[in-house]
Amino acid sequence: MKNIPVSKLVPGMITAADVYEDNQKLVLPKGVVLTDKTITRLEFYSILSIKVEDEMAEDSALDNEQPLSFSTRVRNSAVFQKFSKKYEEDIKLFSREINQMVRENKKIDVDVLLANTLSLLETENGDYLNVFDMLSNMRGYDDQTYAHSLNVALLSNVLAKWLRFSPEDQKMAAICGLFHDIGKLLIPEEILKKPSSLTKEEYQEIKTHTLKGFHILEDMGMNYTVCQTALMHHERHDGSGYPLGMKGDQIPAFSALIGIADVYDAMTSARIYRGPLCPFHALGVMEDEGLQKYSPKYIITFLENAVNTYLLYSVRLNTGAEGQIVYVNKNKLSRPTIKVGSNYIDLSSRPKLSIAQII
Ligand SMILES: [Fe+2]
Ligand SMILES: [Fe+2]
């Protein structure tokens, strides 16, 4: 039996003890063979580590896993291959530059970094690039900050476009995304990657990445909006955020926007082994629990457009039925209408049904 951080779990491992949330609610019993779905549930409950058996399950125990055909198609596409190659290069450049900035006080060339980041979203021949498909297939980085920051930059840039920000402000959104978590470089790795639950003091320490980030960026003479976003991206519309507990319109626009890209990336960021998490799972949680926490206009724009990118995609429902997303329901964005054969299934009025997978 060994204790494994949730971030290191892979399907086929077997739980060696009951897993509880805060020692109360049973999340997974002992003896369960882990699958992608059960690991995602552990993430949802913010469980940081569990006990697993030394032996893995036989392969046959995983036979019921669905093949990732859609994911394979994305990964094999020319657009994705170009994206992933450039993404890897950008991560290297970004981590080198940002470390030199924080540790050696070297001035950073924001324009070069920004141009590199935004060029990830450009395609030569106008090929359609769905940033959600690209990012969900890029999961596989075990770092806590660099890939996350790049993802948040890309998602924020796209959200700023959807919100019809000016071209300059769309760029600003990407820059704010790149630097929003820079303060984490000053938080000890033992805390950021701690395999067991954090103490109150350690959690407080993690929260200081906002103020630390603000100071690093201010010292570097960075644009004030970028500094402010590092400080305020964990503020929440209902006042439940930190460090200042600001509410509603007190939260600056870029901080509110980055907060949304940030949580989406955190929820969908996943494990080294796996293909993409079904985006409708994350979008559904955001719609059910995020409308108070985030600027209503921003979160609705995000959900509406994110869901729209999946219009006409083929999906498999949790019943096993396969169909096509044909209509986005304004009243329940994460639960569109699916055409299955000649039937139209409106998921917004069928709470027991859900989209299990894009195929
Ligand atoms: Fe953060
Ligand atoms: Fe973040």
Per residue in 184-196, pLDDT (tens digit) is 999 998 888 777 6
Residue 199: burial class (beta carbons within 10 Å; 0-12, 13-18, 19+): exposed
Contact 270, 130 (CB under 8 A): no
Unique residue bearing structure tokens 């200042």: 244
Determine the number of helices (DSSP H) and then strands (DSSP E) in the chain: 14, 9
* Protein residues within 5 Å, CB atom, of ion ligand 2: 181, 262
CA distances from 327 to 38, 304, 309 (A): 30, 12, 12
Residues of the chain with pLDDT under 70: 22-23, 36-37, 40-41, 44-46, 59-68, 125-128, 139-144, 196-197, 270-277
What's the CA-to-centroid distance between 140 and ligand 1, angstroms?
A: 20
* Residue 258: strand, helix, or coil: helix
For residue 144, report the distance from its CA to the centre of ligand 1, in Å: 10
- Quote the pLDDT of residue 20: 86
pLDDT of residue 68: 58
Extract the tokens encoding 47. Answer: 């469980």
Q: Compute, in angstroms, the gap from residue 126 CA to the centroid of ligand 2.
A: 30
CB atoms within 10 A of CB 13: 23
pLDDT of residue 303: 95
The Å distance, Cα 241 to ligand 2 centre, comes to 13
Ligand nearest to the CA of 261: 2
pTM score over 0.85 = no
Beta strands in 122-243 (DSSP E): none
Ligand showing the shortest atom-to-Cα distance for residue 258 = 2
Centre of ligand 1 from the C-alpha of residue 10, in Å: 26
**Which of 311, 309, 289 shows the shortest CA–CA distance to 299?**
289
pLDDT at 9: 83
Sign of the Cα torsion 199, 201, 207, 210 reads negative
Q: Which residues crowd ion ligand 1, with CB under 5 Å?
A: 181
Contacts of 343 (CB under 8 A, 6+ apart): none
- Do 335 and 347 contact (CB within 8 A), yes or no? yes
What pLDDT, on a 0 to 100 scale, did the predictor assign at position 106?
A: 85
What is the distance in A from the centroid of ligand 1 to the CA of 195? 19
* pLDDT, position 65: 46
Give the residue from 303, 258, 262 showing the smallest Cα distance to 280: 303
Residue type, 113: L
